[in-house]
Amino acid sequence: MKKIPKIRGEKAGRASAVHDSTDRVDWSKAKKAVFPNLRPTLKSISLRLPESMIDELRVLANKRDVPYQSLLKMFLSERIAEELRA
What is the pLDDT at residue 40?
A: 83
Residue 67 vs residues 33, 53, 58, 59, 60: alpha-carbon distances, Å:
33, 15, 8, 10, 10
Is position 50 within any domain? yes
Q: How many angstroms separate the CA atoms of 82 and 86, rounded?
A: 7
Task: Please write the tens of the pLDDT for every residue from 20-72.
Answer: 777 778 888 888 888 888 888 889 999 999 999 999 999 999 999 999 999 99
Is position 3 within any domain? no
Q: Where in the sequence is the domain holding 50, given as residue range(s)? A: 10-25+40-85
Is position 21 within any domain? yes
What is the pLDDT at residue 47?
A: 94
Domain count, the chain: 1
Q: How many angstroms separate the CA atoms of 13 and 17, rounded?
A: 6
